[in-house]
Amino acid sequence: MINRQTDNTGEMITVLDEQGECVLISRDEYRVNVLAESFRVADDDAESLNLAVLNALRDGFVAESVAPAQRLYEIDDERERATVTLGTVLAQSGKLAEARLLFEEFLEDKPDSSRVMSHLARVLGEMGERDAACDLLWKSLTLDPNQDEGLDWWGEIHFERDGAQSFYRAMERAAQLPASWRPQIWLARRHLEQHEIKESLTLYHQVIEKAEGDARSLQIVSGDLVNNGYAAEVKALILPLYDAAQHGAETGLNLIQACYELGDRATGLALCNAIERFARPDQAHYIKHFRQELKQM
């Protein structure tokens, strides 16, 4: 088993074997044979170790992530990343006071770190300091309105207060911030849910323009549209802008799905070839699938 899971299903975890095929193993087997090895291999590589910790957290292996996160904090030159990862592990381990202190000490030295600020706000909220958390989270968004976790938490706070209307009012407020584009994605999704494709596309055009070619923006927009049945709109909006080396395989897969749904065999196969060398092993599995389907058209 050489690659981490693409899905987590209760007591079983899906991993890729050496042939790129999905197999199920138990969480205990994953913990002993895969997780521990991933931490060991990455022990002196901050980039790899950070990814290993985040993957482990995503799959619920919090206790197992404490020592690797502390090791990351020791070796990582990217202090913001190391602080966020260790603080997140501490918070998820129930050590809220330690996480708070870690974030506050970082902000004393780097007071404009929107990312650490938003994570501190999260901790304050979990400690029951809701008003302080909301104020600090808004401050972090004024520094960077496009941070994914901070914006999601901003919306979550308002949804818990007064439901969907409050959530969208919060996103509308954030969308007024200079250089914002992530809040507009949530507003576009509201129109998608109501089958108002014209209004949604207007917002998605704004997202792409304001994001200035950001790879994540193309991935989100293409995914939103193709997953809601707007294959032609994906192809028209995203394909002219797409570069596999710059924008990655995920957006390419969304475009391939759109081509498949539209019956555009030639473009779909060309995209398969273009993204193949930029794909992760789990993405290569889907490229193989789409190539077979497109060739049979």
Domains 1-93 and 184-297 share a fold: yes
Q: Is the pTM of this model over 0.75?
A: yes
CA–centroid distance for 245 within its chain = 19
Tell me: domain 1-93, CATH 1.10.4030, correct?
Answer: no
Dihedral angle computed from the Cα positions of residues 221, 227, 228 and 233, in that order, rounded to the nearest 10 degrees: 50
Please state, in angstroms and rounded to a whole number, the distance separating the CA atoms of residues 202 and 90: 42
Q: What is the mean pLDDT of the chain?
A: 92
**pLDDT for 122:** 95
Q: Is the pLDDT of residue 23 over 50?
A: yes
Backbone angles phi, psi at 15, to 5 degrees: -130, 170
Q: What percent of the chain has pLDDT over 90?
A: 81
Say what the pLDDT of residue 5 is.
41
User: How far apart are the C-alpha atoms of 48 and 42, rounded to whole Å?
Assistant: 5
Q: Which is nearest to 61 in space by CA: 78, 79, 38?
A: 38
What residue segments make up the domains of the chain, in order of their start? 1-93, 95-180, 184-297
Spatial neighbors of 180 by CB under 8 A, at least 6 apart, are 145, 146, 174, 210
Question: Average pLDDT for residues 11-32, to the nearest whole number?
Answer: 77
Does residue 9 register a pLDDT over 50? no
* CA pair distance 171, 186, nearest whole angstrom: 7
Q: What mean pLDDT comes out for the span 174-197?
A: 96
Best CA proximity match to 208, nearest among 176, 242, 231: 242
- What's the pLDDT tens digit per position in 119-154? 999 999 999 998 999 999 999 999 999 998 999 999
Q: What are the pLDDT digits (tens) for 67-86?
A: 999 999 999 999 999 999 99
pLDDT value of position 16: 66
User: How far apart, in Å, are the Cα atoms of 148 and each of 10, 42, 71, 151, 214?
Assistant: 26, 26, 26, 5, 13
* Alpha carbon separation from 229 to 109, 212, 274, 279 (Å, rounded): 48, 25, 24, 24
The confidence band for 1, taking pLDDT boundaries of 50, 70 and 90, is: very low
Which range has the worst mean pLDDT, 9-13, 44-48, 90-94? 9-13
- pLDDT at 8 exceeding the cut of 60: no
First to last CA, the chain: 34
pLDDT recorded at residue 19: 63
Average pLDDT for 176-184:
95
Q: Which CATH superfamily is domain 95-180 in?
A: Tetratricopeptide repeat domain (1.25.40.10)
Give pLDDT, residue 28. 87
Pick the CATH number of 184-297 from 1.10.260, 1.10.1740, 1.10.287, 1.25.40: 1.25.40
Mean pLDDT over residues 79-97, rounded?
A: 97
Q: What percentage of the chain has pLDDT greater than the value 70?
A: 95
